């Protein structure tokens, strides 16, 4: 690791680094163990499709998050994603990804039963308000009948959200043991340096992930790509914030022009009296 890269803290929650750890050829074993730990499954990874993890994705706003596309030996396809912030319309985006993958698995001229089981698994660093009261860290959606919940329309379509902040809370409250697989993987995502030597000795797949992470973050080209990705997402968030602020000011200006009382404008827009006075 170069001296320059030692001073830069980029963790696997950065989706560029996440992809480099779990999405490239040679990572099949750790990605398999990672998915099984969070989904409580026993899948066997056959392939990681690097064609879905192109460097050009880094500046693709529509992509939002970068995929790790997993193919298993039983034919299941898994879209593994890391999400930090930008939770607006999150559910819609995950459904879109799942629908696209599911539909694309049906080749022209093939029968419908040839569709591959599709799982979109999204790990979120921060919690989402509408989920904050829920106790489970794993939120799993599929197509079920509204009244008879045990009846599935199909078992080939599933969206799962893993709440990393909730896992940390459960670890802190001793509801998840510190040495459980999901606890160790969560620690790795937030900061690999928090892992103990004995943790890695007893879990060779996690040790392998740490070694890959160290290798990736010793490369300034990778570090720069990760930083550019963070800056790009920050710029998007800042742009949206500025647009909202400008919209609020326009509303306040129209209310001023309509001779609305200052108190009413403050209540309606959330602006201070001073900020409203500047619009006159």
Do residues 144 and 152 make contact, with C-beta atoms less than 8 angstroms apart? yes
Contact between 80 and 68 (Cβ < 8 Å): yes
Structure confidence at residue 61 (pLDDT) = 43
pLDDT of residue 173: 95
* H or E segment and range at residue 119: strand 118-124
Which pLDDT score, from 0 to 100, does residue 7 have? 47
Query: For residues 51 and 194, what is the distance between their CA atoms, to the nearest angstrom?
Result: 33
Give the pLDDT score at 243: 58
Sign of CA dihedral 245, 251, 256, 260: negative
Q: What is the pTM of this model?
A: 0.75
Q: Would you list the DSSP string of 132-200?
A: TT---SEEEEEEE-SS-TT-EEEEEEEEEEEEHHHHHHHHHTTSS-TTSHHHHHHHHHH-GGGS-HHHH
Q: Note the pLDDT of residue 135.
A: 93
Structure tokens at 209: 């992930």
Mean pLDDT by 10 residues, the chain (280 residues): 55 88 92 95 86 41 61 93 81 88 84 90 92 94 92 94 96 94 96 92 94 88 70 55 68 79 75 82
Q: Measured in whole angstroms, how far is the alpha carbon of residue 120 from the centre of its chain?
A: 11
Q: What are the start-end ranges of the H helices in the chain?
A: 3-6, 15-22, 28-39, 90-104, 164-172, 181-190, 197-202, 204-216, 220-257, 262-269, 273-277
120 three-class SS: strand
């Amino acid at each position: 690791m170069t001296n320059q890269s030692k001073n830069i803290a980029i963790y696997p929650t950065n989706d560029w680094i996440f992809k480099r750890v779990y999405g490239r050829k040679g990572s099949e074993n750790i990605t398999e163990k990672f998915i099984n730990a969070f989904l409580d499954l026993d899948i066997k990874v056959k392939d990681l499709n690097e064609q879905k993890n192109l460097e050009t994705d880094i500046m693709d706003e529509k992509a939002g998050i970068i995929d790790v596309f997993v193919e298993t030996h039983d034919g299941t396809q898994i879209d593994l994603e890391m999400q930090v912030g930008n939770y607006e319309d999150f559910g819609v985006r995950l459904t879109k990804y799942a629908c696209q993958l599911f539909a694309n698995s049906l080749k022209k001229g093939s029968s419908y039963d040839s569709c591959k089981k599709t799982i979109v698994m999204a790990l979120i660093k921060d919690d989402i308000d509408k989920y904050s009261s829920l106790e489970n860290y794993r939120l799993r959606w599929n197509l079920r009948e509204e009244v008879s919940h045990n009846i599935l329309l199909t078992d080939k379509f599933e969206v799962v959200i893993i709440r990393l902040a909730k896992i940390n809370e459960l670890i802190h409250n001793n509801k998840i043991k510190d040495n459980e697989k999901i606890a160790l993987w969560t620690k790795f995502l937030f900061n690999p340096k928090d892992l103990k030597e004995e943790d890695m000795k007893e879990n060779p797949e996690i040790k392998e992930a740490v070694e890959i992470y160290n290798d990736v973050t010793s490369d300034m080209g990778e570090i720069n790509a990760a930083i550019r990705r963070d800056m790009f997402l920050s710029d998007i968030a800042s742009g949206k914030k500025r647009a909202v602020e400008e919209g609020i000011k326009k509303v306040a200006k129209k209310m001023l022009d309509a001779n609305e009382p200052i108190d009413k404008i403050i209540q309606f827009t959330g602006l201070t009296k001073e900020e409203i006075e500047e619009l006159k």
